[in-house]
Chain A
Amino acid sequence: KQEVTQIPAALSVPEGENLVLNCSFTDSAIYNLQWFRQDPGKGLTSLLLIQSSQREQTSGRLNASLDKSSGRSTLYIAASQPGDSATYLCAVRGSSNTGKLIFGQGTTLQVKP
Chain B
Amino acid sequence: DTGVSQDPRHKITKRGQNVTFRCDPISEHNRLYWYRQTLGQGPEFLTYFQNEAQLEKSRLLSDRFSAERPKGSFSTLEIQRTEQGDSAMYLCASSPIGGGDPNQPQHFGDGTRLSIL
Contacts and interface: CB of A to CB of B under 8 A. Distances in A.
Interface of A: 4, 6, 31-32, 34, 36, 41-46, 49, 51, 89, 91, 93, 96, 98-106
A36 B44 CA distance: 14
Interface in B81-117: 91, 93, 95, 102-111, 113
Nearest to A32: B103
Interface residues of B, number: 28
A105 B42 contact: yes
Given A32-B102, A98-B48, 8 more contacts: A34-B105, A43-B109, A45-B108, A46-B107, A100-B48, A100-B56, A101-B35, A101-B45
- For the residues of A in contact with B, the DSSP-based class is strand
A49 B102 contact: no
Given A4-B42, A101-B45, A105-B40, A43 B110 contact: yes
B42 A99 contact: no
A48 B8 CA distance: 28
13 contacts: A43-B91, A43-B109, A44-B91, A89-B42, A91-B43, A98-B56, A99-B104, A99-B106, A101-B43, A103-B42, A104-B42, A105-B40, A106-B41
A34 B42 contact: no
A104 B105 CA distance: 17
A6 B48 CA distance: 25
B101 to A, nearest CB: 9
Contacts of B6: 43
